[in-house]
Structure 1
């Protein structure tokens, strides 16, 4: 992606005050027009006093496509630790010294119990996540068997996140009834080598394409707070728009002791909200999910995230705790929003 522009839309409208600018960006998004890099940077560097007008503009886009509904997702850590990859943010990586549970792929009954728990939490999507470079055939067999039974007995959408996929593996998951496949880009192409060296940015993008070719809905997102620049963040949003991701989880690094990024600074809550507004403007129709790390980065401002995002995870994450499910339900109710139940 090139970052030089001779005359951006932002440069051509210098008289716009910030309140008018945010409305201008919202209208562009609703017309399907892509923000320029300068406009994206303006969102990320907006004065903190402009946060409420900025979120109001982002909400106009969100409400066009999702109204006041919020999608809930629940994930299960189907295989923990034992991962040979060197992802610096991950407590399950081979380079991590974090004291986490380590176990092989969960059996079918445990995966089914997780699906029932997802329903009890009012989640519409159940995410089966496994650490590792990619699934073995035996692991794939276990997931396929569980998914087939879940699909035949429960009103849930299934998302799988099993690492890098071969074409035939993607087809098997789709045939079993997996609706969505998640493989995050995580960061920008330029920043990627500083985060992971055992696989490439292009391999991640290729797995998302494999999921699309197999007929699964592509899910891919980012982790904010890993040393990226504001320009990197705009590039991430551009890349996911161009990749055609239907669902975009926006994670904020929850630094874990024992990982290479243990000392990374928390993303300030106001900056995190600006990031979510940017993703809503650049990916207006997509499901934007405020995901891992929201509790420790957004803290008491979590409710404001839902003026840009339309989806959250409920419960715990892979190796870090989330807030109580009842608190998430209460947050949604207090906002005057509504949980969107699965309709399949």
Structure 2
């Protein structure tokens, strides 16, 4: 038995990785990556079988953000050429939901730029969510920025299932990425969502000049936060942002990162998110041996893979798309 299978067996028996073991995954020799992914799949299979969760983003408000996040084309310090608009109307949110239902997507993600939502913007989301739930039965994830407790309660009461607020990077690296809010601001927002009964979703962006130790630390931080869903983004460096031209990733390293997150967070939804097409390239299918969830369609200001190609990839892998009902049952089991 290879070392990765031995480590996977230990994880399945309830062992937590040491820091040295976690770093060894990121330092796995390239020639051994297939062995590593096979081991990660044993953990994934225990909790999720061959099911894949599909997610789709509705960019409900674009640009106009006062924050200074170095990776983001919508930030106040970005010169990227993007469409900027205020919160879309209810009909647009419903149309996005209809498209998600057509694609057999389980989770519809309503995302808005900005530091945090105004009460009027929360009103708009609440109004649309009630009808989306009644009409399509989709699982709803909202991502609206720093959230006040009373806003979180309103979203929960309206039928929002999950709230996303990514930690993005380690506490040590945070100030190298943004200074307009703190790392603790992000942690507190996830806690506010949890306290209201919303399922917490929080993840990472890899490739922002962080060290391997930073990647291990953020994986452990998300474990401590008990995030139900962990989006793993790989930096797609956009022209006009401070991180323009940063290119630190390669497909094999991205696979090691996904394996690391599965080993550290064995029971959680690990979602391959933004930048997968650019950074994983032709190795995208292998990522699903560690992850059990992907976005289909476009992201916020970048283009994703054609939806038909995503579905074909899943069929070729012999995986099955998980229904909304199955997703809710699995979440209850993993709690």
* Same fold flag (TM > 0.5): yes
Please list the CA deviations of residues 102-139 of structure 1 after superposition, one character each: whole Å capped at 9, or x if unmatched.
00000001000000011111110000000000000110
Please list the CA deviations of residues 11-46 of structure 1 after superposition, one character each: whole Å capped at 9, or x if unmatched.
xxxxxxxx6321122112212221011000000001
Q: Is there any run of 5+ residues in structure 2 with no aligned partner, and where?
A: 329-335
2:208 is aligned to: 226
Q: Does 1:149 align with 2:138?
A: no
Equivalence map 1:76-225=2 (5 Å): 76-225=58-207
Name which of 240, 259, 264 aligns with 2:241. 259
**Rounded Cα–Cα distance in structure 1 between residues aligned with 2:10 and 2:149:** 37
1:15 is aligned to: none
Q: Contact (CA 8 Å) 1:254, 1:266: kept in 2 or not? A: no
**Rounded Cα–Cα distance in structure 2 between residues aligned with 1:270 and 1:97:** 31
Q: Does 1:311 align with 2:320?
A: no
**Rounded Cα–Cα distance in structure 2 between residues aligned with 1:215 and 1:29:** 28
Q: Contact (CA 8 Å) 2:209, 2:248: kept in 1 or not? A: no
The Cα of 1:153 is off from its aligned counterpart by: 1.4
Q: Does 1:282 align with 2:264?
A: yes
Q: Contact (CA 8 Å) 1:266, 1:297: kept in 2 or not? A: no
2:333 is aligned to: none
**Rounded Cα–Cα distance in structure 2 between residues aligned with 1:255 and 1:96:** 12
**Rounded Cα–Cα distance in structure 2 between residues aligned with 1:32 and 1:140:** 40
Please list the CA deviations of residues 193-235 of structure 1 after superposition, one character each: whole Å capped at 9, or x if unmatched.
0000000000000000001000010000000000110000000
Counterpart secondary structure, 1:158: strand
2:43 is aligned to: 61
**Rounded Cα–Cα distance in structure 2 between residues aligned with 1:145 and 1:29:** 43
1:9 is aligned to: none
The Cα of 1:155 is off from its aligned counterpart by: 1.9
| Structure 1 consecutive aligned stretches of length 4 or more whose deviation exceeds 2 Å | none
TM-score between the two structures when normalised by the length of structure 1: 0.94
Q: Contact (CA 8 Å) 2:110, 2:142: kept in 1 or not? A: yes
The Cα of 1:266 is off from its aligned counterpart by: 4.5
Counterpart secondary structure, 2:99: helix
Name which of 48, 56, 68 aligns with 1:74. 56
Counterpart secondary structure, 1:171: helix
The Cα of 1:154 is off from its aligned counterpart by: 1.1
Q: Contact (CA 8 Å) 2:72, 2:78: kept in 1 or not? A: yes
**Rounded Cα–Cα distance in structure 2 between residues aligned with 1:168 and 1:114:** 26
